[in-house]
Structure 1
């Protein structure tokens, strides 16, 4: 059963005014114990490819993952994308732009030391970000947050964010909101109304921006949010995109 919020998202997708921005983990795919274990279905790839065509290229992935990982997961599609929460971004022109990364020395040292003492933890390093995962040791959440907060306090230009079973440290002043903002200044996105779908705290900056410029933020799952709309699950997102890919009139030749 389609909810009122989903109907609003479908209605925007079926106008000539829409620019679509999508988070990846927890939004397009179900969250897995490790990032390399997520499943991207052929049906999802087909829906994304169809919508990319229907929207004349106005579809971008906005993720905490590096763009290279997104490309591997979504092959053979090569979509406009923002990776590492906006630290790297590839527009429709295909040019990859990377912002300079701040110094992660103290954060890296503390994260690896903590993971060495607790086998259930593992560290993921990216350009301009570091993530400490505790999905396999959820009882260590408080310890992870405390240790990373202490490391961030002695570092310049860093921001700590808590996500789903993860503590992530990234460059301050860069976010999914700034990434979407920058996309909206470029062709083919400029002048179009954004729809951003995401599920986690790192997506809130994206919701905030699209709502402020008259778009729609669609929050996946429970939890407080600045998004004006909500959808139940990543499965519901996949069904929504598949429906939009089939029913949208955008890009179709008139009968």
Structure 2
């Protein structure tokens, strides 16, 4: 894999959150947002004419909390939720997840190192603190959704997630690319997990850039080694002159 090319003002930039913009933590709430990240994303959002979106497994309101006061276009829960550049929110209606939640809570009750995360349209079971329970978690969740075709099991880094079937980050990126200000631009997507592969499969056929963050096999043709490397790569765009129709000279949010 190659180092990704420098960002250009005609890009449509899509960024995963955990493992890409911030480091992976023991629990979802324990992550630390790097100093300067919000200011950098604010700069890039302006420089790209608004064509920057976070595409994450997190809920959008959680992303907003970590990136406050910035509210970017975003896809949450792998595309179940999507907020466009105009601020309009779209959410898929989830199937009944009570049986899944009951099984996950039962496992967590028996194994305190497991963590259950209830989302709008998904249930995530984190086993980072108990990696030896991976197969137990997988089989339990597969068993409960075996007769429910509207649900699927997603395997991420030390987490299994039951979510609506057929919705993923690639679908979300496709939807963004049909709307302003993303339409007609070159898609660029950076992500670290297996859940990001659907996004890579969308941007590369469009002539875009897919960036795998960290180690492991991937469809992506470019790689950065860590969230710090992602930050540094994004920061190189600051030295590129803004697009002709943008005037950021007097923007008080820009670093001096």
Q: TM-score, normalised by structure 2?
A: 0.92
Q: Does the Cα contact within 8 Å between 2:52 and 2:72 map onto a contact in 1?
A: yes
Q: Does the Cα contact within 8 Å between 1:18 and 1:192 map onto a contact in 2?
A: yes
What count of residue pairs does the alignment treat as equivalent?
A: 247
Aligned to 1:149, which of 135, 142, 146?
142
Q: Does 2:21 match 1:28?
A: yes
2:118 aligned counterpart, secondary structure: strand
**Whole-Å separation in 2 of the counterparts to 1:195 and 1:156:** 32
Q: Which runs of 4+ in 1 moved over 3 A?
A: none
Deviation of 1:51 (Å): 0.5
Aligned to 2:217, which of 212, 220, 224?
224
Q: Does the Cα contact within 8 Å between 1:103 and 1:156 map onto a contact in 2?
A: no
In structure 2, the residue matched to 1:5 is 3
In structure 1, the residue matched to 2:242 is 250
- Matching of residues 91-170 of structure 1 within 5 Å: 91-170=84-163
- Which segment drifts farther, 161-170 or 67-76? 161-170
Aligned to 2:63, which of 70, 73, 95?
70
Deviation of 1:43 (Å): 1.1
Deviation of 1:139 (Å): 1.0
Deviation of 1:53 (Å): 0.7
The CA RMSD measured in Å over matched residues stands at: 1.7
In structure 2, the residue matched to 1:81 is 74
Q: Does the Cα contact within 8 Å between 2:214 and 2:226 map onto a contact in 1?
A: yes
**Whole-Å separation in 1 of the counterparts to 2:93 and 2:2:** 42
In structure 2, the residue matched to 1:238 is 231
Q: Does 2:182 match 1:189?
A: yes
Runs of 5+ unmatched residues, structure 1? none
**Whole-Å separation in 2 of the counterparts to 1:159 and 1:212:** 26
Q: Deviation per CA, 1:128-171, whole angstroms, max 9, x where unpaired? A: 11100011111111111111111121323111111111111111
In structure 2, the residue matched to 1:53 is 46
**Whole-Å separation in 1 of the counterparts to 2:62 and 2:234:** 22
